[in-house]
A and B are shown apart, each in its own frame.
Chain A
Amino acid sequence: MFYREAGQFYTSYAKDQGIFQLKQDKFGLWGILFIAFVVVPVGLYLMVQGGLMAASTKDYLYNSIFLLLLVNSMAALGLNILTGYCGQISLGTAAFMGVGAFTAYKFSTGLNYRIQKEDEAGELISQLVPMLPPIDNPILLVLIAGLVTAVVGVIFGLPSLRIKGFYLAVATLAAQFFLVWCFSRVEWLYDYVSSSTIQIPPLKLFGLVVTGSETVMRDGQEVTIYPAAETKYLICLSLVVFFAFVAKNMVRGRIGRAWMAIRDMDIAAQLIGIRPLATKLLAFAVSSFFCGMAGAMSLIFYLGALEGAEAFNINESFAVLFMVIIGGLGSITGSFLGAAFITLIPIFLVVSLPWLGGQFGIPVDAAMVEHIQFMIFGALIIIFLIMEPLGLARLWQIGKERLRQWPFPY
């Protein structure tokens, strides 16, 4: 009864075209944003100050859970645009994330290239020469990473005109394997370091340290300032929230309609004047833009240092596809729900299984936890797909419909 549309009328199309049809939804969203932006950081800060929580636990929540969740949400949004809205299955998500990460890295170090020459003694002298001034603004880096990835995504989207369905899905693996190979083979990408590992240099935003550390003189003493987990979290959160709105706007407007038309019936879509190649490529571009940003965020905020071939391997692609499907294809909310499910369930199982085993007096070692976790996770996915193939977003909707009537039967 608290969740009813009764009494809410719209007198203009502008209002009727709004994102939320119901006041309750709108309030709910503002509430969630308030919690995410204010209650969480302030609350955790106060809890640590008040001694209710260890500082390391706060770090853990931010660094291992919230940031990962935000990165995954961004990637899931991206893939959902391509797969959920435009109907093109892609298994190359991780590789596109990798493109984003390496782009961010290259721009943050000024697009170095190497000059090698031999000196008189026959020793090789190599020197890195920057092509551009290094960029130290993380948000700018994330956006550039998105744009470059969009271009790469378009290139690998080209076969989608001819190849459809699962054949396309497998064909996108070509992008996955090729790009990942580049991450470990094209020396320019990782500034020629022998291990092909990249590490983001120190970055700052509005004077706040975001990555690396900074040593300053304060009261005549050297003080090293480390990035606060809150800073990273709030930047990531802002990016994700903003681009979730962008995604929502795209999919509810003409672009989204064109995508969905291609998804639902591409022949009919063509006959009403939708250009299939342009529309699909736009979806690849936008999707890759999001995935690229996710990759850059993963490097800058979450991992800091990574090895391309390992961090963006094919299992990550599958994980993101899982998020999208479990969350609900063609749903922005679903992308978040799916990312939360896939990110949090394994962590939850890992943490809770030993405790649970302890309750029953069964010692559960780490390997056993991992095995059981995999089994439960696999089984959960199957059960879930059987019970609600349309995903968490659909469950959410059903829940809302129930709530609409509750507590009355009609």
Chain B
Amino acid sequence: MKHSERTFGDTLLRVDNITLRFGGVKAITDVSFDIHERQIFAIIGPNGAGKTSMLNVINGFYHPQEGTITYKGNQRHQMKPHEAAETGIARTFQNVALFRGMSTLDNVMTGRLLKMSGPAMRYYHRQFADMPVINYLTYPAMWFGDFLLDSLYWGPYQREELAHRKAAEEVIDFLEIQSIRRTPVGRLPYGLQKRVELGRALAMEPDLLLLDEPMAGMNLEEKEDMCRFVIDVNDEFGTTIALIEHDMGVVMDISDHVVVLNYGRKIAEGTPAEVQADQDVIDAYLGVAHEEDLIEK
């Protein structure tokens, strides 16, 4: 493909000597890597290698006991998941974690929630946010103003809602899920659910998109679609993507950089070609004798 022509920006996220324990069990041991802007970054490894835990660490759901994470040049303190989201990290899940009681459109709209700060709140951020003392007084007032507008669904709030509806519709168009807009997601087939979940993450307009096995359980056609979406997202919006995937073909095809984990340790890192040739990696995969189709390649 076009790997050679691709250029990446600075380091977006640096993972430094991360160790994560659950009680006595080490899920991740001393792992480090860098993710660069606009990269498609893959984390692979056998089952139980700590891949999902790694993503959970990155978006603040698990708190590693050792090591640091530097994101956009700032070293991160121990943060809550919603704070990670506020800094522009979006995420899909291994087992679909959609809001099953809501329609496709509403699911995508929830992805816009962070962007919908409310008209009064925007005014606050423009006018008062950095005025000491006054900001403490105006913040609740502005918050409440937004709340009232929301509850009346009126004026500026309605305009804001419609603007975001437009943005959500763009995501829906992009993922070609117009026809299921109003369908409750619980009724959708698995492949489509995965796509809606991607839509929800995209609606957040993230800087870093974490995909946890986006193609697991899909048939070939669905996988191809999904690959196309991932590449398009990366191309069109310049979003940095970190993904976990078992399908080696996919990984080798679309990723720029690969990290291999085994038993919570990093055993290899590099371009897909480099990793493929690594003896440790081959051992790890053959050693656990899984159905992974590494051999095919």
Direct contact of A and B (CB under 8 A): yes
Binding site for B on A (CB under 8 A): 13-14, 16-17, 246, 249-250, 252-255, 257-258, 260-261, 263-265, 267-276, 330
* CB pair B152 A265 closer than 8 Å: no
Measured CB to CB, the closest approach of chain B to A295, in angstroms, equals 20
Residues of chain A within 8 A of B161, CB atoms compared: 17, 253-254
Judge if B91 is at the interface, Cβ distance under 8 Å.
Answer: yes
* CB pair B162 A13 closer than 8 Å: yes
Residues of chain A within 8 A of B166, CB atoms compared: 13
* Bound-complex Cα distance A269 to B101 (A): 13
Q: Would you list the 5 A-B pairs with minimal beta carbon distance, nearest first?
A: A273-B85, A264-B99, A268-B97, A249-B153, A270-B81
* Chain B, 148-169, CB within 8 A of any chain A CB: 150-153, 157-158, 161-162, 165-166, 169
* Chain B, 102-121, CB within 8 A of any chain A CB: 102, 106, 109-114, 116, 118
* CB pair B101 A330 closer than 8 Å: yes
Contacts A13-B169, A272-B85 supplied; 10 other A-B pairs, CB < 8 Å: A13-B166, A17-B162, A258-B113, A261-B113, A265-B97, A268-B93, A269-B99, A271-B84, A273-B82, A276-B82
Measured CB to CB, the closest approach of chain A to B199, in angstroms, equals 12
Say whether chain B's binding surface is mostly helix, strand, loop, or mixed: helix
* Bound-complex Cα distance A13 to B161 (A): 9
* Bound-complex Cα distance A269 to B106 (A): 13
Given contacts A257-B106, A268-B98, contact A274 B82 (CB under 8 A): yes
Q: Kindly report which residue of chain B lies nearest to residue A12, judged by CB atoms.
A: B162
Given contacts A260-B101, A268-B99, A273-B114, contact A14 B81 (CB under 8 A): no
* Bound-complex Cα distance A254 to B114 (A): 10
* CB pair B169 A252 closer than 8 Å: no
Say whether chain A's binding surface is mostly helix, strand, loop, or mixed: helix
Measured CB to CB, the closest approach of chain A to B163, in angstroms, equals 9
Residues of chain A within 8 A of B59, CB atoms compared: 271
Residues of chain A within 8 A of B93, CB atoms compared: 268
Residues of chain B within 8 A of A17, CB atoms compared: 161-162, 165
* CB pair A14 B169 closer than 8 Å: no
Given contacts A271-B85, A273-B113, contact A253 B157 (CB under 8 A): yes
Of the A-B pairs whose beta carbons lie under 8 Å apart in the complex, a sample of 9, sorted by A's number, is A249-B150, A254-B109, A257-B109, A261-B99, A268-B97, A270-B85, A271-B84, A274-B82, A275-B82
Measured CB to CB, the closest approach of chain A to B62, in angstroms, equals 12
Q: Kindly report which residue of chain A lies nearest to residue B114, judged by CB atoms.
A: A273
Binding site for A on B (CB under 8 A): 59, 61, 80-82, 84-86, 90-91, 93, 97-102, 106, 109-114, 116, 118, 147, 150-153, 157-158, 161-162, 165-166, 169, 200-201, 204
Residues of chain B within 8 A of A273, CB atoms compared: 82, 85-86, 113-114, 204
Given contacts A13-B169, A17-B162, A249-B150, contact A263 B84 (CB under 8 A): no
Given contacts A14-B158, A268-B97, A270-B82, contact A257 B113 (CB under 8 A): yes
* Bound-complex Cα distance A338 to B86 (A): 39
* Bound-complex Cα distance A330 to B101 (A): 9
Residues of chain B within 8 A of A267, CB atoms compared: 61, 81, 97
* Bound-complex Cα distance A199 to B15 (A): 66
* CB pair A260 B106 closer than 8 Å: yes
Measured CB to CB, the closest approach of chain B to A275, in angstroms, equals 5
From A13, A258, A330, give the contact of B165 (CB < 8 A): A13
Residues of chain B within 8 A of A257, CB atoms compared: 102, 106, 109-110, 113
Residues of chain B within 8 A of A253, CB atoms compared: 150, 153, 157, 161
* Bound-complex Cα distance A379 to B12 (A): 62
Q: Kindly report which residue of chain A lies nearest to residue B203, judged by CB atoms.
A: A272
Residues of chain B within 8 A of A252, CB atoms compared: 153
* Bound-complex Cα distance A16 to B166 (A): 11
Measured CB to CB, the closest approach of chain B to A70, in angstroms, equals 20
* Bound-complex Cα distance A14 to B165 (A): 9
* CB pair B151 A271 closer than 8 Å: no
* CB pair A264 B101 closer than 8 Å: yes
* Bound-complex Cα distance A270 to B90 (A): 11
Measured CB to CB, the closest approach of chain A to B285, in angstroms, equals 30
* CB pair B99 A260 closer than 8 Å: yes
Q: Which of A246, A254, A274, A275 is most buried by chain B, counting CB atoms within 10 A of its CB?
A: A254
Residues of chain B within 8 A of A255, CB atoms compared: 147, 150-151
Q: Kindly report which residue of chain A lies nearest to residue B153, judged by CB atoms.
A: A249
* CB pair A246 B151 closer than 8 Å: yes
* CB pair B153 A258 closer than 8 Å: no
* CB pair B110 A263 closer than 8 Å: no
Given contacts A17-B165, A272-B90, contact A261 B150 (CB under 8 A): no
Residues of chain B within 8 A of A13, CB atoms compared: 162, 165-166, 169
Q: Which of B84, B109, B110, B111 is most buried by chain A, counting CB atoms within 10 A of its CB?
A: B110
Given contacts A14-B158, A257-B102, A264-B101, contact A274 B113 (CB under 8 A): yes
Q: Kindly report which residue of chain B lies nearest to residue A255, judged by CB atoms.
A: B150
From B84, B110, B151, B158, give the contact of A258 (CB < 8 A): B110
Q: Kindly report which residue of chain B lies nearest to residue A250, judged by CB atoms.
A: B151
* CB pair B113 A14 closer than 8 Å: no
Measured CB to CB, the closest approach of chain A to B140, in angstroms, equals 13
* CB pair A272 B113 closer than 8 Å: yes
* CB pair B152 A263 closer than 8 Å: no
* Bound-complex Cα distance A44 to B93 (A): 59
* CB pair B151 A249 closer than 8 Å: yes
Measured CB to CB, the closest approach of chain A to B59, in angstroms, equals 6
* CB pair A261 B85 closer than 8 Å: no
Measured CB to CB, the closest approach of chain A to B183, in angstroms, equals 14
Measured CB to CB, the closest approach of chain A to B43, in angstroms, equals 17
Residues of chain B within 8 A of A274, CB atoms compared: 82, 110, 113
Measured CB to CB, the closest approach of chain A to B100, in angstroms, equals 5
* CB pair B165 A272 closer than 8 Å: no
Q: Kindly report which residue of chain B lies nearest to residue A253, judged by CB atoms.
A: B150
Measured CB to CB, the closest approach of chain A to B101, in angstroms, equals 5
Residues of chain A within 8 A of B109, CB atoms compared: 254, 257
* CB pair A272 B204 closer than 8 Å: yes
* Bound-complex Cα distance A63 to B63 (A): 58
* Bound-complex Cα distance A249 to B157 (A): 11
Q: Kindly report which residue of chain A lies nearest to residue B182, judged by CB atoms.
A: A21
* Bound-complex Cα distance A270 to B91 (A): 11
Residues of chain A within 8 A of B106, CB atoms compared: 257, 260
* Bound-complex Cα distance A151 to B150 (A): 20
